[in-house]
Structure formats: C-alpha cells, structure tokens
C-alpha cells in the first residue's frame, strides 16, 4: 500500500470514528428525553417538588432543545463541526452531572436547560455530518442508516432504561448514565 493510500484509509477511519462519536452523542440526547419522563414521580418525591411544577423538568429540556436545533447551522459555521460537537458533548455531560447533583427545583431546571441546549445541537449535527463528511453513494447511505437507526432506537430504549435505573439504583443514575459515554465521545471528537 502506498503512503497516499495509507493516509486516505487513516483519514476515512478517523472520519467514521468521529461520526460514530457524534451518533452516540445524538443517541444520548434523544434517550435523555425518554429516560427521564419515566421517572418523574421518583424525582418529584426525592426533591420534594410539587406535581404542578414537575412538567417543567421535561418541558425545560425540550424548549431549550427546540431553541438550539435551528441555531446549529450558524454555530457550525462559527466553531466548525468538530469543535461544536466537542463543546456540546462536554456541556451535555457536565449538565448531566449537574442534574444528578440537583438538590431542588431551581438547580434541576437550570441543569436541564443547559442539557437541552447542548442536546439540541447534537441531534442536527449528526445529520449535517452525513452530507458534509461523506461522499454520495454507499458512504452517505451507511452514515444515514447508522444515524437513523440510533435516532429510532433511543426512544425505544428510554422507558426501559429509565425504569431499570430508578428501580435498581436511584434517580441520579438517569443523568449519570451519560457521563462515561460523554467522556468517551468527547475524547473521540477531540482526537
């Protein structure tokens, strides 16, 4: 194999590793929506939040996500796809820890808003990457399939995962489950 062929194959491998990390980040952001909703009563009891305010735990995340999604194109041009992903996954991971460490309604809502803003960037970033990183044909088809399958699987696994975590551990793990994948995808994004 020539040097040029080695460089091209290494570049292709790095591209797929980076894209895989982006897909895991998107999976985490989508999973987080479903994983938390199954355990709202447990969080309500643990933090002594009234039932009338519990909907904000989910709504704050979703509103922040909806605000971030259309800004992703602009943010990609400002920071580049790679560094936007790195920043978003870092923020999402830190906000997940913040949610787990929350001691009351205000701190939980603040952390959920930050988490939603970061998650809202992670989702469209994957689908932009499909068209920006991969050549038309088999590469784009494979990348689209990979992103699409993970986007569909996340909501399916969310309720099961949320129930298992709160039943066998504590509500804190609804958020702490994001830490190890967050750190791994952050490292993959940087390198």
pLDDT digits 0-9 by tens, 42-100: 888 888 888 888 889 889 999 999 999 999 999 999 999 999 999 999 999 999 999 99
User: CA end-to-end span of the chain, whole Å?
Assistant: 24
pLDDT at 9 over 80: no
pLDDT at 181 over 60: yes
Using an 8 Å Cβ cutoff, are 126 and 185 in contact?
no
Closest by CA to 19, choosing from 156, 140, 117, 178, is 140
Q: What is the pTM of this model?
A: 0.90
Quote the pLDDT of residue 51. 81
Using an 8 Å Cβ cutoff, are 123 and 26 in contact?
yes
138-156 tens-digit pLDDT: 999 999 999 999 999 999 9
**Could you count the other beta carbons within 10 Å of the beta carbon of residue 124?**
18
3-state secondary structure of 50: coil
Comparing 34 with 12, the larger pLDDT belongs to: 34
Using an 8 Å Cβ cutoff, are 153 and 46 in contact?
no
pLDDT at 4 over 70: no
Q: Which of 3-7, 83-87, 132-136 has the lowest mean pLDDT?
A: 3-7
Q: Which residues contact 150 (CB under 8 A, 6 or more apart)?
A: 23, 24, 26, 27, 30
Quote the pLDDT of residue 7. 45
pLDDT at 2 over 80: no
Burial label, 162 (beta-carbon count in 10 A; 0-12, 13-18, 19+): buried
Spatial distance between the Cα atoms of 22 and 119, rounded to a whole number of angstroms: 11
Quote the pLDDT of residue 5. 47
Using an 8 Å Cβ cutoff, are 100 and 178 in contact?
no
């Amino acid at each position: 194999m020539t040097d040029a062929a080695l460089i091209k194959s290494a570049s292709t491998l790095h591209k797929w590793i980076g894209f895989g990390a982006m897909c895991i980040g998107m999976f985490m952001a989508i999973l987080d929506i479903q994983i938390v909703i199954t355990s709202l009563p447990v969080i309500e009891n643990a933090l002594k939040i009234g039932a009338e305010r519990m909907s904000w735990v989910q709504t704050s995340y979703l509103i922040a996500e909806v605000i971030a999604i259309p800004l992703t194109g602009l943010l990609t041009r400002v920071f580049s796809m790679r560094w936007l992903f790195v920043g978003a996954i870092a923020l999402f991971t830190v906000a997940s820890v913040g949610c787990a460490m929350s001691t009351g309604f205000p701190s939980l809502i603040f952390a959920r808003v930050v988490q939603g803003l970061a998650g809202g960037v992670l989702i469209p970033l994957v689908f932009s990457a499909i068209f920006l990183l991969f050549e038309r044909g088999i590469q784009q088809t494979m990348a689209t399939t990979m992103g699409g399958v993970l986007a569909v699987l996340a909501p399916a696994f969310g309720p099961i995962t949320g129930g298992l975590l709160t039943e066998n551990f504590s509500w804190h793990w609804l958020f702490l489950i994001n830490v190890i994948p967050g750190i791994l995808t952050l490292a993959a994004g940087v390198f």
